[in-house]
Structure 1
Amino acid sequence: MHTSTIQRLEELAETRADALDRLIRSDALAHSADRAADHGATGDVLILEDHNFAQTYWALADALGEEPAPRVLVRQRSYAQARDLHALISNEAPDAIHLLKIAGLTAEGQRDHATLAVSGFLRTHGFAGALALGRLPKSHGALHDWAHDLTLSAPEATLILGGNTKHMNRTFNDTLERSFTQVRGLRGKGKHRCLLASGARTAVEVGTGEDRCEADTPGHLRGFGGVFSGAKADRGGHLLATAAVDYLRHADHGQRVLDLGCGNGSVTRQVLDEAPAGVVRRVVATDVDADAVRSAAANLSDPRVTVTWDAAAADLPDSSVDLVLLNPPFHEGTRIDLTLVRPLLDAARRVLAPGGTLLLVHNSHARYRTQVQERFEHVDQVTRDSTFTVLRAR
C-alpha cells in the first residue's frame, strides 16, 4: 500500500516543484547522506514555509520508505496554506497523514494557537530530528525567529534555507550567526543558492528570545517573527485607528468590531485605549499570518478581544459585525499586488450587519476606491495625510 502512496507523493512533488525547490531538495539529500554516514539517519524533518508543498510531498515519500517512519513537521505562516496542505495530504495520500504535523493545526486540522511558534510546535510534538529546511524568508525577524527556536529546541539540527541569489547578502549570514556557530553558502545553481547553518550556540549566547520583541514607547508593543511593522505601530494603521475612534464617539454602545488583517494588534489596542467607555462590546482581531496572530495575542490582553488565525474571517457568521477595520496588504513577496484586498473586501461585506461600516486605510497612490465601490453602495473619504487615505463604506 505504501508503494503506491510513495509514487503518488513523488509525482505530486515533481509536478509542483520549481528550480529552487529542487536545489533545496538536492542540498538536503546530500547533507542527510553525509550525516547518515557519520551519525545515522536524521529522524524527523522540519520544513519551513513550503509554498509549493513539494518539500512536504518529498519528505513524506522518504518517510514512508523508512522503518520506523520519521515524522514530517511543517510550519507555514499562512493559515490558508496550512489548511490547504492538511486537506491535500488527507485526500491525496491518506496513508501518510499520520506522519504529518502542521504548526497551528491539530491532527484533525483544527486550529491550535499554542503551536504557532516554532519552539512551541517542536516542543509539543517532541521533535527528534537533525534537519530543518525551507525557503529563506525576506524578513530578518522571521529568520532570527526560526533560527533561535530551532537551536533551543533541537540543538543538533542543521538548517538549510534556499533563496534567489540576487536577494541574498551577508546580513542573512549575520542573522543566522546569532544562533549558529557555523554558517556557510552552498554551491549555487542558476539563480539560486542555499545557506547551511549548524552548531547551536548555547542558551546564554542565543538569549531568551526577548530580543525578537522590541519595546516601542509609548505602547510597548511586541512583534514576533516577520509580522508587518514589527514591534511598532504602522503609520497607516495609526491613521485608521484615529478615524475609528472618531467614528465610535458618535456610535451606539455595544459595537461589535472586526480588525480584519490585524497585524501586531496596534490598531485594536489604540481603539480600545481611546474609544469612549462602553461603546465597544467586543473585538475579533484576525489575520492569516501566524506571526501576526502571535504578536497580536501578546499585545491584546483586553477581555473584550478574541485573536484568531483565519483566512478572510471565514469563521465569522454573516451579518455579525457593526464595524470592520481594514489595513490591507498590497505585497506578495516583493511584488506589489493591489488585488490582495479583494477577498478581504468580500469578507467585510459578508460579515457586516445591515447599517454596518467599513473603514479602510491605504497608500494614497494605490487606487482602491473603485474596488470598494464595486461592493458597497456608499463610499466616501474620511481623512487623508501626505501618505495615507482612509475610506468609509456603508
Structure 2
Amino acid sequence: MEYDSPFGRFTLLPLHHHPKSPLQAWSAADDLLLKELASLEPAPQRILIVNDAHGALGTCLHHRRPYSWNDSYCSKLSLQQNLHRNQLLFSPEHWLDATELPKDLFDAVLIKIPKTLALLEYQLTRLRPMLSAQTRIIGAGMVKHLSKSMVQVFEQCIGPTHTSLATRKARLVFSQFDATLNPLTPQPTRYSVPGTELELVNYPGVFSQQKLDLGTRFLLEHFPDASAAEHIIDLGCGNGALACFAARHNPGAHLSLLDDSWLALQSARETIELNKIPNPCELIASDGLDGFEDKADLILCNPPFHEGTRLDSNIALRMFKGAKRCLNDEGKLVVVGNRHLDYHQTLRAHFKAVELCASNPKFVVISASRPR
C-alpha cells in the first residue's frame, strides 16, 4: 500500500499482511503526527518515536534518524520490513526495547498512545529524564480509544496538556514539560497463584496485571501431565505463570518462554527468580514460534486474541501452525481459550488428534497432537 506522507511517498504494509486484508500500516493518528512534525520550525533534530506499531513513523522519518522505543518484537520486525521495502537501512543502535532507556535529551517525542493507562504512565514517567522545557511532546490516538484519563496521565506525568480537534477520528495530545513535577514510576505488581506457593511479577501493560486471569487459572486447574517432558514451551508466556507451574511438576525440564513483549519477558524473568525455579530457562522475544527450530514435548498456550485494540484470530492461528512444526512426534499442544473462539475447529485443521480436556461456561482446555 502506498502512503503519501508529508515527507514523501512510501510503500507500507503491516506484518503478515494478507492481500485481502483491509488493515493498513498507518492510521489517521500517524498521519496527524507526521503533519504536525512537518509544521514545526525549526525542525526538531533529535526525535524519539514511542509505540510505532507497524513502523510507519520510523520509515517516513528515516531521513531524520529517529530513535524508536517499543515493547513489541513484532513492531521491530514491521519497521525492519517496511524500511527494506523502501530501500532504507535499519539502524540497530536507534532501536530500544521497553526494558532499555533512551539517553540524553530529545527535541521531539512522538507517542502513539497505548491501550492501557498503566503502560502509558510507566512510559511517560520513565521518559522524563530525556525531556526539557524545549522538547515538543506530542501524543496521538484514535478518538474512540483516547480517554480523558489518558489526557490526565499526560498532565500528571509530564505537565500542562491540551488536545487538538478531532480529524478523521484521530486526535493529538500536546504536553509541556514541567520540571517541578515528581511523579513516581509505577512498579511491577506481585500476586500469588491460588492454591500454590507461586508468586507472579507483572510489569505495567503486561496481560493480567493485578491478578491471575481466569483462563490461565482454569488451565492450571486442569494442567496436563508434564512429568516426562524434556522440553516445555510457554508460548505467549506473559508473566511466566504456566512455565513456573510446569517447573513445579518437572524441575528437570528445559523451559523456553516466548513472547512478543519485552516487558512480559522481564516479568517472567523476575517471576522465575522470585520463585527460585531450578530449571534451565531461556526467554526469547519472538513472533510466535517463527524462527524457533528446537523441538518440544509440551507446548502450553493461552493465545492473545487482540492486536492492540483490534480483535485478531490470526495470532492464535500462527501460534498453532508454529506449534505443529515444533512438536516432537509424541508431543502435545495444550491450549486454553474462550469458548466462543472455537479453537477446537481451528486445531483440527492442523492436528489429527484434538481432545477437549475441560470446559466451563466461559473457557475450554484443549490438547492437540499428531500434526497433520
Per the normalisation by structure 2, the TM-score is 0.83
The amino acid that maps onto 1:141 is A
Residue 263, structure 1, aligned to residue 238, structure 2:
yes
TM-superposed CA distance for 1:294, in Å, is: 2.5
TM-superposed CA distance for 1:159, in Å, is: 2.5
Residue 352, structure 1, aligned to residue 298, structure 2:
no
SS at match of 1:377: strand
The amino acid that maps onto 1:159 is I
- Whether contact under 8 Å (2:12, 2:82) holds in the other structure is no
Counterpart in 2 of 1:375?
350
Counterpart in 2 of 1:141?
118
TM-superposed CA distance for 1:182, in Å, is: 1.3
TM-aligned CA distance change 1:360 to 1:103, over 3 Å: same
- Whether contact under 8 Å (2:106, 2:130) holds in the other structure is no
* Aligned partner of 1:190 among 138, 145, 168: 168
- Whether contact under 8 Å (1:322, 1:355) holds in the other structure is yes
Number of residue equivalences: 345
Residue 290, structure 1, aligned to residue 262, structure 2:
yes
Counterpart in 2 of 1:73?
67
Partner Cα separation in structure 1 for residue 314 and residue 81 of structure 2: 25
TM-superposed CA distance for 1:382, in Å, is: 1.1
Partner Cα separation in structure 2 for residue 329 and residue 14 of structure 1: 25
TM-aligned CA distance change 1:154 to 1:222, over 3 Å: farther
Residue 57, structure 1, aligned to residue 59, structure 2:
yes
What pairs up with 1:1-394 in 2 under 5 angstroms? Answer: 10-12=8-10, 17-30=26-39, 32-33=40-41, 36=42, 42-61=44-63, 63=64, 71-90=65-84, 92-94=86-88, 97-98=90-91, 101-104=94-97, 116-117=98-99, 120-122=100-102, 126-156=103-133, 157-201=135-179, 205-207=182-184, 209=185, 211-217=186-192, 219-244=198-223, 246-248=224-226, 251-252=227-228, 255-273=230-248, 275=249, 277-278=250-251, 280-301=252-273, 302-303=277-278, 304-318=280-294, 320-394=295-369
Output the aligned Cα RMSD. 2.7
Q: What is the percent sequence identity of the aligned residues?
A: 21
Partner Cα separation in structure 1 for residue 172 and residue 85 of structure 2: 32
SS at match of 2:337: strand
**Deviation string for 1:13-72 (max 9, x for gaps)?**
799654322211122334x42xx3xxxx633211122234332133223x2xxxxxxx31
Partner Cα separation in structure 2 for residue 22 and residue 242 of structure 1: 47
TM-aligned CA distance change 1:42 to 1:147, over 3 Å: same
TM-aligned CA distance change 1:282 to 1:375, over 3 Å: same
Partner Cα separation in structure 2 for residue 42 and residue 76 of structure 1: 21
Partner Cα separation in structure 1 for residue 257 and residue 309 of structure 2: 26
- Whether contact under 8 Å (1:45, 1:72) holds in the other structure is yes
Counterpart in 2 of 1:107?
none
SS at match of 1:11: strand
Partner Cα separation in structure 2 for residue 128 and residue 29 of structure 1: 20
Partner Cα separation in structure 2 for residue 263 and residue 236 of structure 1: 13
Partner Cα separation in structure 1 for residue 90 and residue 246 of structure 2: 43
Residue ranges of structure 1 left out of the alignment (5+ in a row): 1-6, 64-70, 105-115
Partner Cα separation in structure 1 for residue 142 and residue 82 of structure 2: 27
Pick which of 264-273 and 9-18 moved more: 9-18
- Whether contact under 8 Å (1:160, 1:195) holds in the other structure is yes
Per the normalisation by structure 1, the TM-score is 0.79
The amino acid that maps onto 1:288 is D
Partner Cα separation in structure 2 for residue 199 and residue 270 of structure 1: 44
**Deviation string for 1:108-131 (max 9, x for gaps)?**
xxxxxxxx32xx230xxx343121
TM-superposed CA distance for 1:155, in Å, is: 4.5
The amino acid that maps onto 2:67 is L
TM-aligned CA distance change 1:314 to 1:339, over 3 Å: closer
The amino acid that maps onto 1:299 is T
- Whether contact under 8 Å (2:191, 2:199) holds in the other structure is yes
SS at match of 2:191: coil
Partner Cα separation in structure 1 for residue 259 and residue 78 of structure 2: 16
- Whether contact under 8 Å (2:247, 2:253) holds in the other structure is no
SS at match of 1:103: strand
Partner Cα separation in structure 2 for residue 142 and residue 42 of structure 1: 26
SS at match of 1:177: helix
SS at match of 1:316: coil
TM-aligned CA distance change 1:55 to 1:290, over 3 Å: same
SS at match of 1:247: coil
TM-aligned CA distance change 1:88 to 1:365, over 3 Å: closer
**Deviation string for 1:141-192 (max 9, x for gaps)?**
2211210111134355443111122332211122223311212112332311
Partner Cα separation in structure 1 for residue 129 and residue 291 of structure 2: 34
- Whether contact under 8 Å (1:237, 1:327) holds in the other structure is yes
TM-aligned CA distance change 1:220 to 1:341, over 3 Å: same
TM-aligned CA distance change 1:293 to 1:10, over 3 Å: farther
Partner Cα separation in structure 2 for residue 333 and residue 91 of structure 1: 24
Partner Cα separation in structure 2 for residue 14 and residue 295 of structure 1: 32
TM-superposed CA distance for 1:272, in Å, is: 2.3
